[in-house]
Every structure is written in C-alpha cells, then in structure tokens.
C-alpha cells in the first residue's frame, strides 16, 4: 500500500509541472498576441484639432487659416491641370522652442488614405523656410485629390518628410464639403500659391518701402524738385541781350 502511494506521487508531481508549463505557454501566447507591433509602438504622436483650433506638437504649432481649390494651378511658368481637384490649404506655423522646419504635409481622407503634398508644383511653404520660435509664418500648400474623395479630409503636418517614428504630428480637420469639391472641379481659373509671409504682414506693407515713398520722404522730395526752378535764375543771365540796344544807339549816332 505504501509502495503504491510512493510511486504515484512522482507521477502527480510530473503532471503538475507539465500543467504549469502548458499554462505558462498559453499565457505567453495570449500576451504575445496582444503585444503591439513595432509599427504601433513607434507610431507618431498625433495631436488632433478642429478647423478653428491651434494644434500643438512637440516642435511646432499649426492652425488652418483657410482652404480653396480649382482644376488648374500655375507654377514656375507652367500650368498644371488636374484629373481630380487641386486643394490649397493656408496654414499658420510657429516653432515652439528652437528653429525648425516642416517638411511633411499630407491630406487624410475618410478611408485613411493619404495624399501627400504635390510634387508637380513648387512648394515654398515646405522645408524652404526656417521657423523661428514664437514667430508665426503663413504658408500655402497644394494637394491633388480625386473629385469623389471620401470625406472628411484632414491635414497632417510633421517635421520629417520620411521618418515619422516617435515624432510629433499635427492633424487638423478641414471644412471641405462635397459641394466645395464639385464647385472647384468646374473652376478653370489658374490658381497660384502665395509665398510664405510673416503672419499679419500684407503685400502692400512689404512692398511700400521700395515701390512708394513714405509721406515724410514725399514731402521732402517736392521741395527738392521746387528748388531746381531756383536754378532758373540762370535765364536772368539773359540780361546780356539788353546790351543789344547799345549797337542800336551807335547806329542812331
């Protein structure tokens, strides 16, 4: 009786150990199935906001100022027609703590498809300007999307054009409707991208120092022009013709 009990105990221990091993493997498999992939772990940190919101990222702030569209866009002396629709987004960018550049811009549609900024036109607003901390800059970015693109559309912005792993990214909803896309598709007028400008500056203000003088300078310029007539005193030297009567007197004598 004792011999039978002693022989069953090692068997029970082995079965218990095997059960524990199987349970550990099962739990490990469950955990591995729920473990996020490397792509998920290294995905960008996306900060989302609506059309009226200022979205803050680690490197920069972004705010959409407006959208427009059409079928034709001009760039570098060439006219580019679209089989879909050109969408131009005006956005204000501000660096946060140090100078930075925004190289990546894309539109995300309602089915998660991504349309990057067009390479068919010159995009001065992407990467070409160093953003200084606290100084907002207004830029325009052009995209090309199908006419029947699924809505809603959102703008995505990031500092790196290729590697977005663990990077900050802004995503801003755009107030674009189906009627807007239909209307833009029928608009044949050639659009052009505006050059990046400091926020609040206007073309008249930037060109006024070179094209038109200030009121003070115009006032001083008029006296300078009026002083030149003072030089007309030189015609008074023409008093010399008054000497011409002397020959006539001689003739009379």
User: Closest Cα partner for 133 from 101, 168, 103, 96?
Assistant: 96
| pLDDT for the residue 227 | 40
User: Closest Cα partner for 46 from 182, 167, 225, 188?
Assistant: 167
Domains and CATH numbers, the chain: 45-195 (2.60.40.1240)
User: Distance between CA 61 and CA 147 in Å, rounded?
Assistant: 30
Tokens 């990467």 belong to residue: 127
| Contact status, residue 46 vs residue 57, Cβ threshold 8 Å | no
Tokens 């598709």 belong to residue: 185
128, 134, 135, 139: CA torsion to nearest 10 = 50
Residue 177 CB: number of other CB atoms within 10 A? 12
- pLDDT per position as a tens digit, 135-193: 999 999 999 999 999 999 999 999 987 776 757 899 999 999 999 999 999 999 999 99
- pLDDT per position as a tens digit, 61-111: 999 999 999 999 999 899 999 999 999 999 999 999 999 999 999 999 999
Burial 41-73 (b: 16+ CB within 10 A, else e): eeebebbebebeeebebebbbbbbeebebbbeb
| pLDDT for the residue 142 | 97
| Contact status, residue 115 vs residue 124, Cβ threshold 8 Å | no
Q: Structure pTM?
A: 0.65
User: Closest Cα partner for 72 from 124, 151, 156, 144?
Assistant: 144
Confidence check: pLDDT of 228 > 50 = no
């Amino acid at each position: 009786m004792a011999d039978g009990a002693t022989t069953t105990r090692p068997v029970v221990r082995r079965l218990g150990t095997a059960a524990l091993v199987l349970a550990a493997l099962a739990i490990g498999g469950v955990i591995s199935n729920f473990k996020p992939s490397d792509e998920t772990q290294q995905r960008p940190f996306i900060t989302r906001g609506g059309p009226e919101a200022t979205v803050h990222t680690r490197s920069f702030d972004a705010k959409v100022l407006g959208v427009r569209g059409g079928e034709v866009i001009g760039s570098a002396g060439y006219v580019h027609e679209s089989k879909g629709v050109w969408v131009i987004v005006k956005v204000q960018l501000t660096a946060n703590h140090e100078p930075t550049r925004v190289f990546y811009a894309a539109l995300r549609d309602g089915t998660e498809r991504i349309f990057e900024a067009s390479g068919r036109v010159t995009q001065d607003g992407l990467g070409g300007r160093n953003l200084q901390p606290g100084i907002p800059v207004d830029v325009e970015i052009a995209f090309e999307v199908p006419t029947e693109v699924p809505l809603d559309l959102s703008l995505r912005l990031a500092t790196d054009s290729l590697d977005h792993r663990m990077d900050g990214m802004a995503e801003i909803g755009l107030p674009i409707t189906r009627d807007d896309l239909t209307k833009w598709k029928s608009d044949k007028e050639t659009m052009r991208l505006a050059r990046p400008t400091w926020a609040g500056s206007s073309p008249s203000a930037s060109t006024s120092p070179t094209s038109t003088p200030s009121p003070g300078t115009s006032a001083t310029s008029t006296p300078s022009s009026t002083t030149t007539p003072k030089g007309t005193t030189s015609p008074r030297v023409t008093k010399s013709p008054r000497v011409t009567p002397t020959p006539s007197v001689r003739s009379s004598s």
